Amino acid sequence: MPYKDEKDLPDVFIYLVRSGDKVCYIRKSYKYFNKMDEQQPKLFAFTTDMAESPNLRDDEAGMIEMKIVIGPTAKLAGKPYKHANETEMPKMGNIICNIFNCQDLIPGDDCGGSDPFISMNYYGALQKTFVVEDSVNPIFNTRIIMRDVPIFDLERNPPPMTLKIFDKDFMGEDFLGMSLVCLKDMYSKGHLVKNTLNMPTPVWINLRYGKQKNCGRVLVSFNLFDYSSDIFTSTLNQLTPAIQLDSQKYHVKIRILGLRDLKSLGMLPVKNAFLKFDINSLLPISQKRALAEEKFITTEPNEKGENPNISTIISLDVELPIETMYCPHMSVLCQDRIMKGWIQPMLGTFSIDLPKYIQKTKLAYTHKIQKATDFLLTTTAEEKKTINNSMGFDVEKIMKNRTETQTFDLK
């Protein structure tokens, strides 16, 4: 193609065509294909062409693995394309997907919630989790097993696993987001382990919806087994789906000062705004509360208008995982109260990053204990008694048993 300078090259379009009609496409800058020394093919995700295929969801557009090189003819001339020989036949085996929880999913319902489930697809093997009702921060803590799938060499470039999240409702399934899981990267970074049931370190995977990238994230890890492993026949079939995490009791206090710049989604102005803190968003499905008065802690609308002051404190006791990484976010709904509460339209939603506050509180608690224990080493028995009274607990007892469960206040 006659271009004077590489900078004049336009974007590259790649179309998937069916019976002469364009179905979906890939659009990339020429710079993406300008790496002449790169030999490995790359995986590309198609984008739905809404003008040509309005009924095709973005996650249904598919992917393609290929290698394209764009550059000046003089530079490419005489450069042979190095390609791998025929791919060796893969072994057959199983992949365990450890799915813990999600954070900040797209609301699939008008009420600000979703009924999400996760679908995993690898080389034609499709497995789904159960549905977590009414949550944009769902807790799964479950394993799903991809059985009898090809196990490729993880040191090379195995096909990716597709992770999709849907909202389940009476009309069907609404797509919420997806991600491609590169097993090679998972293995190299320690998030996938081979031929062992030891739990690898999980990783947060970001979700995308079309060109929108901030669609929440999911915490996962993987175990891979091939048929040459003895543990496959002896243990894998007895593996329970539920993942049990060590938990600890927390006492949570939240001080609410007020709300600002609220906007009504309807024609009426904001009248009596209030907050609903979703306790179920902190609990696994086996512990979820059924009654409405037990599911939420609700504030009272003290002032009218778009900038009401609330000035209240709520508190609750809840069991949460000891490892901060597994702790969920807390979902909060903001609603309006109209006609004495008969109508409660949604104003918005947000999440509280409890893991961040737990970590901060633990660090402050550890510093407090260390400072007290260091001081006790140089004090008399009478002074120790005074210190214990001021701290509110027996510091010397904690010195002897550091594994004792404590309760933390999150403010």
Q: What are 255's strand-pairing partners?
A: 313
Find which of 157-161, 254-258, 284-288 is predicted with most confidence, using mean pLDDT.
Answer: 254-258
The string of pLDDT tens digits covering residues 306-359 is: 999 999 999 989 999 989 899 999 999 999 988 877 888 889 889 999 999 888
Domains, the chain, in order of start with CATH, read 6-76 (no CATH), 91-238 (2.60.40.150), 247-352 (2.60.40.150), 357-410 (no CATH)
Number of H helices, E strands in the chain: 7, 21
Query: Secondary structure of the chain: what % helix, strand, coil (to 5)?
Result: 20, 35, 45
pTM of the full predicted structure?
A: 0.79
Average pLDDT, the chain: 81
Q: What number of residues does the chain have?
A: 411
Rounded to 5°, angle at Cα 324 from 320 and 325: 110
Q: What are 259's strand-pairing partners?
A: none
Q: Are 164 and 174 in contact (CB under 8 A)?
A: no
Query: Rounded to 5 degrees, what are φ and ψ at 162?
Result: -95, 125
Q: Which residue has the tokens 């929108």?
A: 212
How far separated are the first and last CA of the chain, in Å rounded?
64
pLDDT of residue 303: 86
Q: Are 253 and 409 in contact (CB under 8 A)?
A: yes
Give every CB contact of residue 37 below 8 A, 6+ residues apart in sequence. Answer: none
Residue 26 has pLDDT above 70, yes or no: yes
Residue 392 has pLDDT above 70, yes or no: no
Amino acid at residue number 341: G
- Count CB atoms within 10 A of the CB of residue 167: 21
Predicted confidence band at 58 (pLDDT cuts at 50, 70, 90)? Answer: low
The string of pLDDT tens digits covering residues 182-228 is: 898 999 999 999 988 899 999 999 998 876 777 899 999 999 987 76
Amino acid at residue number 253: K
161-169 and 172-181 beta bridge pairing: antiparallel
Residue 125 has pLDDT above 80, yes or no: yes
Mean pLDDT over 71-87 rounds to: 54
pLDDT of residue 37: 60
The string of pLDDT tens digits covering residues 360-386 is: 888 887 777 777 667 667 777 776 677
Q: What percent of the chain has pLDDT over 90?
A: 31
pLDDT of residue 85: 43
Query: Rounded to 5 degrees, what are φ and ψ at 128?
Result: -125, 150
Higher-pLDDT residue of 111 and 184 is 184
**Closest to 343 (Cα-Cα) out of 262, 270, 263:** 270
Q: Are 36 and 30 in contact (CB under 8 A)?
A: no
pLDDT of residue 104: 92
Q: Which residue has the tokens 């040509």?
A: 52
Q: What percent of the chain has pLDDT over 70?
A: 78
Which two three-digit tokens encode residue 142?
A: 């479950």
Residue 2 has pLDDT above 70, yes or no: no
